[in-house]
A = this chain, B = another copy of it.
Amino acid sequence: MTLFLSTHINKVDKKGRVSVPAQFRDQLVGENFQGVVLFRSNTQPALEGFAWSYMQEISRRLENFDLFSPEQDDLAMTVFGDSVQLSFDGEGRIVLPMDLVEFAGLAERAAFVGLGNKFQIWDADILAKRREEARRNVRDKGLTLPKGEAA
C-alpha cells in the first residue's frame, strides 16, 4: 500500500528538474514503472501525483461510465490527456513539463504534499498562503473528523 505523508520542499532547477522526496520514492519501489504520473488538479493551482499502478485503477473506474457519454469524454480527456508520465533519473529526479510548471505557478521551491495514496506539488509560497487559509477555516467553522469513515 502506497502512503504518501508529510510535506517536503525541494528546489526546481532552470530545466524544471526536481528531486522527488526519498520518502515518496520509497513508496514506489516495486512498481512496474519507476516514476510518477502527474496531472493538473481540477480545483487548485497544484499538480497531483500518483503511482503508475493507480492509473490502472482510474482507468477501471472510467469504464463504469457509459461509453460515449459526454461526461466520460470530458473526464478521459482531462485525466489521461492532460497527464504526463515522468520517470526518475538515476538520482530520483523528474523533469516537470513547462506547461505544468506554469499551471501550478511553480517558482524556485516546490512543495510535495503527501495525501495518502496521492500527493500534490505546490509552489511553496502559494501553499503557505493556502495553508493559512485552511487553518482559519478549520478554526472558524470548527471542522472535525467524523468517526468511522476516515481511512
Contacts and interface: CB of A to CB of B under 8 A. Distances in A.
Q: How many copies does the complex hold?
A: 2
B59 A3 contact: yes
Given A5-B85, A43-B68, A64-B148, A134 B74 contact: yes
Interface in A123-151: 130-131, 133-135, 137-139, 141, 143, 145-148
A113 interface: yes
Interface residues of A, number: 57
Contacts of A139: 42-43
A121 B141 CA distance: 24
A116 B128 CA distance: 33
Contacts of A43: 68, 73, 139
23 contacts: A1-B56, A5-B83, A5-B84, A6-B81, A7-B81, A7-B82, A42-B139, A43-B139, A59-B117, A60-B148, A71-B141, A73-B134, A74-B133, A74-B134, A74-B138, A74-B143, A76-B115, A77-B113, A77-B115, A78-B134, A78-B135, A78-B138, A80-B115
